Amino acid sequence: MKYSEIDVAVIGSGPAGMAAAIKAKEEGAEHVLIFERQEQLGGLLSQCIHNGFGLLYFGQDLTGPEYGHRFAEKVRDLRIEVMLETMVTQISADRKLTAVNSHEGTIHMQPKSIVLAMGCRERNRGQLSIPGTRPAGIFTAGTAQRLVNIEGFIPGKKVIILGSGDIGMIMARRLTLEGVEVKAVVEILPYVGGLIRNEVQCLHDFHIPLLLEHTVTQIHGEQRVEAVTIAKVDKNKMPIDDYKQHIECDTLLLSVGLIPENELSRMAGVALDPLTGGPVVDQRRETNVSGIFAGGNVVHVHDLVDEVSWEAEIAGTSAARFAGKEEMEKEKKIILKPGRNIRCIVPQTISPQHDVTLYARVKDMEENITLKVGDIFSKSLRVVKPSEMLKIDLTYSQLGQLKDDAVELSIESVKRRQNG
């Protein structure tokens, strides 16, 4: 492999990176290279040993390692170049890329296009500002998952989980099965943060108490966590003093959200959307920097891995075409605007000449709404929740109904009038 010949460089080899690289190769890019900082392909999939992966993509109920294995085999079969234990440290707007590893030292190259597939990371204690001491025994749910499923350690014996994200609930089940006492899952919102199937199969199945509208207000312990104070919260999410309880535990796990990992994107001058935390992309998943594309959880946090891979395939296709110097037609761009009760939309811009799938997340849970895209699309939904991403397929002909001078399109969730 000559570094000067790389057509498409993919940063990250999780479910997004592998899918992007495979698609780029299939779309005709000759030299595709994946950078992975760990010692094997797959990113976080190797520690997600539970099932529920691939139901949409493969039509089969796979575990994380199995899902990753299928993509890794294809990466091998297609002779995609892989650099393991290699970390990209810098990229620039003209696609100059710097990476380091222990056998080559510093590596420089300028691939014809780049796909960002760095995924996301977990929100941690520092971002939550929970008062108290700073003892050992506080982990993010994903760190605990790695300890239990890869390293073979149990993080503690009596555990409280703050936040009801999917990884937190999955770890509640995993730890319970390993003989750990999970005392409660504490959620500040009035509803669960993750998927319903995880609430049922990880919490209900094991009778793990779920405390909604509660939060941790204090961490106790000097060397090791000894207890936490939990309080009920009011409508403004403020703790109510009369409803405080002291719970003994030696471990606190945090499952309080994921943030797209975009340090490299920023270095290259990629514009980020404050609502998603990821790059602003068009429907081909190109960022504002020409030749730099992005897909998967680096763009916005998805609910399902299948959607991560699909989105990255769009980025991979586009990167291959860019590297092949395929002329991109100058297309009219329409900016998508989050309207009533919509938190964020991906892609942020579209061109009305093509069919497109939009992904949106709502701010608050609502029942009986109509989801509207301008005047060209509407759909009735019985419920929308922040934890469940909305998928909207727009056709070329629907977009053709837009006025010629349209520059914006609003997506909104409108309350339906109830009859009777």
Partner 1 sequence: MVEEKIVCIGCPLGCRTTLRISDRGEVIKVLGYKCNQGRQYILEEYRNPVRIFTTTVLTEKSSRSLLPVRTNRPILKSRLREATLTLVGVKAKPPVKVGRVILPDLLNSGVEVVATDDLFPDPTLPIKGEGEGGG
Residues making contact with partner 1 (CB under 8 A)? 46, 49-51, 61-66, 69, 148-152, 176-178, 196-197, 199-201, 204-205, 382-385, 387-388
For the chain, the helix, strand and coil percentages under 3-state DSSP, each to the nearest 5: 25, 35, 40
Q: Which is nearer to partner 1, 178 or 241 (CB)?
A: 178
CA atoms within 13 A on the CB side of 284: 23
Q: Which is nearer to partner 1, 65 or 135 (CB)?
A: 65
CB 366 to partner 1: min, Å: 11
Regarding beta strands 158-162 and 181-187, do their DSSP bridges make them parallel or antiparallel, or are they unpaired?
parallel
Identity of residue 80: I
Q: Which is nearer to partner 1, 204 or 354 (CB)?
A: 204
CB 173 to partner 1: min, Å: 8
Under DSSP, is residue 211 helix (H, G, I), strand (E, B) or coil?
Answer: strand
Regarding beta strands 227-233 and 239-248, do their DSSP bridges make them parallel or antiparallel, or are they unpaired?
antiparallel
CB 92 to partner 1: min, Å: 37
Q: Which is nearer to partner 1, 261 or 388 (CB)?
A: 388
CB 225 to partner 1: min, Å: 25
Query: How far is Cα 289 from Cα 118, in angstroms, rounded to an integer?
Result: 17
Query: How far is Cα 67 from Cα 321, in angstroms, rounded to an integer?
Result: 27
CB 66 to partner 1: min, Å: 5
Query: How far is Cα 344 from Cα 353, in angstroms, rounded to an integer?
Result: 23
Rounded-to-10 torsion of CA 265, 266, 271, 272 = 80
CB 197 to partner 1: min, Å: 4
Under DSSP, is residue 19 helix (H, G, I), strand (E, B) or coil?
Answer: helix
φ, ψ for residue 66, nearest 5 deg:
-65, -40
CB 70 to partner 1: min, Å: 9
CB 222 to partner 1: min, Å: 31
Query: How far is Cα 411 from Cα 321, in angstroms, rounded to an integer?
Result: 30
Q: Count the residues in the chain.
A: 420
Query: How far is Cα 351 from Cα 54, in angstroms, rounded to an integer?
Result: 30
Whose structure tokens read 């109920």?
61
Q: Which is nearer to partner 1, 293 or 359 (CB)?
A: 359
Q: Which is nearer to partner 1, 305 or 323 (CB)?
A: 305
Q: Which is nearer to partner 1, 382 or 417 (CB)?
A: 382
Q: Which is nearer to partner 1, 39 or 404 (CB)?
A: 39
